[in-house]
Structure 1
Amino acid sequence: MTVKKITWKSLMLSCYNSKDIISPSDSGEKDSKPCQFQRLSMSDVSDRSSPLSVDDLSTSLLGSNLHVFTFAELRLITHNFARCNLLGEGGFGPVYKGFIDDKLRPGLKAQPVAVKALDLYGLQGHREWLAEIIFLGQLRHPHLVKLIGYCYEEDNRVLVYEYMPRGSLENQLFRRYSAPLPWSARMKIALAAAKGLAFLHEADKPVIFRDFKSSNILLDSDYNCKLSDFGLAKDGPEGEQTHVTTRVMGTQGYAAPEYIMTGHLTTMSDVYSFGVVLLELLTGKRSVDNSRPGREQSLVEWARPLLRDPKKLDKLIDARLERQFSNKGAQKVAALAYKCLSHQPKPRPSMGDVVKILDSVQGFEDEFVGPFVYVVPNETDGDKELFTTKDCGVEKHELHRCGWRNDQIASFFGS
């Protein structure tokens, strides 16, 4: 009996020609559903009994829209992996900025790229490199980073992505000595990230991201975000399965408690991780920070009890926003974060429901919440001057607290 050779080209071309798949040039998102063919999984390549092996990648993917780069081409693109082009380094290895000119090869447009090279002595390896290709080689969505190609040459395992000029959400949210992300930008990012996760979870063959965190959310110049780093992603449960049992991997502070305890992985594990990122967007604080005192070192442990009480919202919201945010929107987001961070997976909302809630808070204008009073000492007579926004609703007891005398307060209110 002859077994017919399976190639990625034969299995994937029907998907890429489908009208259901979204290409990077498409502007809409409403119909961005996964393709309806049977998507390849990691086991199709990593299983020794499979007729498709990793050695087929160099020929089988020629019919798809992934490019197979030589290592010499990558040296040229990155100026020999110059240190000045280093964008950062993670568990997989260093990431370099590069540029592809239109003369490199036919059909490949001139564009900046991010080139991620596997560190052979790092925390991740060949399997994570392969997972990136398996998932991003088949899945297309406006909020998933685009994989342009890869290199598989001797010991070199390299991935080439579209370049995202603002880097990661982690860098934008936590970097010092820069203007804070506005409330509207934070909500835009949260919604887009939620749409990316919902797309993965609602596929015919669901995908669990497993390592959702702020450093894996990349931003373009307009703060449009895309999920990146699928090295730890897993195919979700199918049929009557309720979960996938796997080795516990991920990042401290983001992993769901039931996954840490049992190794049982579900889409609800991603929902919990999303709740942690939502909390980071609300507070401007990292998920784990050992420089904070005691219980505050764990953001979830400190903040979750406060999320239930709208009156305690002031203690949560990032002080760098200077109270310039939508109060109504913040209350909705806090309530959503509380649900996502449930200790048990069942009460957590689906990512589809998360998208609906976050969509409802878009367009809320950034506004000053409550009275905005700024008091400075007068150099001449020790009196104090008040600078206030128009119609801010300042009350007398608040001016008393600022040190105003009764005659000053009466003059201010015209009485």
Structure 2
Amino acid sequence: MIFLVKGKKLSIEIPNELQERIMISEVLTDGRQESCRKCLTKTIESNTLRQLLQARELQESAPSSKAPDQFHESQAPMSLPPSYSQAETNESSSVPHWAIYAVCISGVLGLVVIASVVYLLVSRRKKDNTVNPWATGLSGQLRKAFVTGVPSLGRAELEAACENFSNVIGTVSDSALYKGTLSSGVEIAVASSPVKSAKEWSDRSEEQFRNKISELSKVNHKNFMNLLGYCTCDAPFTRMMVFEYAPCGSLFEHLHVREAEHLDWPTRLRIIMGVTYCLEHMNQLDPPVTPRTLNSSSIYLTEDYAAKFSDTEFWKDDDADASAPTRSAGQDSIVYKFGILLLEVISGRLPFSEDHGLLVLWASSYLDGKRPIGSMADPVLRASSPVPEEDLAALCDVVRLCINREAAKRPSMGEVAGLMKGAVRLSPEQTTPRNNPLWWAELEIMSTAST
């Protein structure tokens, strides 16, 4: 309450806040609390707004020389009545605790879901970018161990296993093949590039070498000499590929070397069908894997004389148009070479010799029906037991299609496999090695690479 003296008169001025509290007490005494609360809120809001407008007008109309105490008095912050702050507190406290807990739990669950989705997307992307060798046929333990790629091996380990690379078991145009024995007694085959200097090894050569490793790692078939690892070293310069080993030599040796054990007719059929299933599998990969070479020297035999087709050459002719829709020159060439291999297995003759010339020309008279087809079989086979002519006739039908002079009229490798399955009724299980040392070789390679 403020007492003002104007002249001889005394006047009493009641502040606005006091007037408001008097109003509240009067309303409460009348017992109309609920409606008064609404009136109170409106009154407070209107008074507050009126005070703000008055302060604004005073600020704009006041001269710049206004005293500091007057300026601060007009700009002093206004405090809300206690009843207004209490109303806000009561309103916020009216929110139930379970609603707060529900909001918190929902937020946590949302974060967990978002994190899980991000993790799955990142994991899937990493999985798509990794090389997955041996997509089929391996045990679960080894498949997990090699899921990130083919293991890289040290030159020292391979040099010790191959006895300083002294045991040569084969040669091709661009590599030599050595036999090696790991510390566990498991035998391996090591293909080594003849290049001995980094100056002779171009970036293109390195790219082809890496592509070869990636390609072979995807094959994995029981009738294939599967890739176990590789070796790169700059001093001394080394580029090597490590394969599983087949101990009974090559098909070439058993067909053409007198000292080697000769193969009977059922064994020859089992070998050729093993190669057929392997080539069919390679043709079904995405993209298809087409070997550069197919002959009796590239087929090795296990202890039970099952076929192990090998692709140990370092280079591959990849200048052909990769955008060709279905067929390529390499596929047509493999089909033709398969026909020649069939003739070689049937007749026991070399694909070419100075005495008899080309095997295709020699066999043409039998294939055309000018000579009895039974006389076409290997004399070694005829000396032991006659070869069923129905088998010969069915295989010769396949040969005619494979060696057609017009490449476009030759069947695909998939079609050849279908024809062979009808001619030689052997299942894939009957053509696979019974005692396969691949598992132990992979296990030893894995332990060697990790040390």
Give your verdict on TM over 0.5: yes
In the other structure, the counterpart of 1:138 is 218
Residues 184 and 363, structure 1, Cα contact 8 Å, conserved in 2: no
In the other structure, the counterpart of 1:271 is 335
Distance 1:98 1:177, change over 3 A: closer
Cα deviation, residue 92, structure 1 = 2.6
Q: Flag the structure with higher helix content.
A: 2
Between 1 and 2, higher relative CO (CA 8 Å, sep ≥ 6) is seen in: 2
In the other structure, the counterpart of 2:35 is none
Q: Unmatched 5+ residue regions in structure 1?
A: 1-7, 27-60, 103-109, 245-264, 365-415
In the other structure, the counterpart of 1:321 is 381
Cα deviation, residue 315, structure 1 = 3.3
Cα deviation, residue 152, structure 1 = 0.5
Corresponding residue to 1:77 among 138, 155, 161: 161
Cα deviation, residue 240, structure 1 = 5.1
Deviations 1:247-282 (A, max 9, x none): xxxxxxxxxxxxxxxxxx142221001001011001
Secondary structure of the residue aligned to 1:274 is helix
Cα deviation, residue 329, structure 1 = 0.7
| Cα distance in structure 2, aligned partners of 1:65 and 1:114 | 19
Cα deviation, residue 132, structure 1 = 3.3
In the other structure, the counterpart of 1:299 is 359
In the other structure, the counterpart of 1:338 is 400
Corresponding residue to 1:159 among 241, 253, 262: 241
Number of equivalent positions: 287
Cα deviation, residue 71, structure 1 = 0.9
Residue 98 (structure 2) pairs with residue 98 (structure 1): no
Identity %: 26
Residues 144 and 227, structure 1, Cα contact 8 Å, conserved in 2: yes
**Structure 1 segment 222-371 matched on structure 2, within 5 A:** 222-229=304-311, 230-233=313-316, 241=325, 265-290=329-354, 292=355, 296-309=356-369, 312-322=372-382, 323-362=385-424
Corresponding residue to 1:22 among 136, 140, 156: 136
| Cα distance in structure 2, aligned partners of 1:282 and 1:331 | 11
In the other structure, the counterpart of 2:170 is 88
Distance 1:266 1:87, change over 3 A: closer
**Structure 1 segment 155-234 matched on structure 2, within 5 A:** 155-229=237-311, 230-233=313-316
Give, as a single letter, the amino acid of the residue that structure 2 aligns with 1:346.
A
Distance 1:174 1:132, change over 3 A: farther
Give, as a single letter, the amino acid of the residue that structure 2 aligns with 1:167.
G
Distance 1:25 1:225, change over 3 A: farther
Residue 147 (structure 2) pairs with residue 66 (structure 1): no
Residues 152 and 231, structure 2, Cα contact 8 Å, conserved in 1: yes
| Cα distance in structure 2, aligned partners of 1:72 and 1:300 | 46
Residues 277 and 417, structure 2, Cα contact 8 Å, conserved in 1: yes
Distance 1:16 1:128, change over 3 A: closer
Q: TM-score, normalised by structure 2?
A: 0.57
Deviations 1:159-197 (A, max 9, x none): 111011112211221111344211111111111111222
Deviations 1:29-62 (A, max 9, x none): xxxxxxxxxxxxxxxxxxxxxxxxxxxxxxxx98
Q: TM-score, normalised by structure 1?
A: 0.61
| Cα distance in structure 2, aligned partners of 1:216 and 1:120 | 22
Residues 274 and 306, structure 2, Cα contact 8 Å, conserved in 1: yes
Distance 1:10 1:72, change over 3 A: farther
| Cα distance in structure 2, aligned partners of 1:24 and 1:338 | 37
Distance 1:178 1:324, change over 3 A: farther
Distance 1:316 1:129, change over 3 A: farther
Task: Compute the RMSD of aligned alpha carbons.
Answer: 3.2
Q: Unmatched 5+ residue regions in structure 2?
A: 1-124, 427-451
| Cα distance in structure 1, aligned partners of 2:191 and 2:132 | 26
Secondary structure of the residue aligned to 1:346 is helix
Distance 1:74 1:138, change over 3 A: same
Secondary structure of the residue aligned to 1:353 is helix
Which structure's CA Rg is the greater one?
2
Give, as a single letter, the amino acid of the residue that structure 1 aligns with 2:350.
R
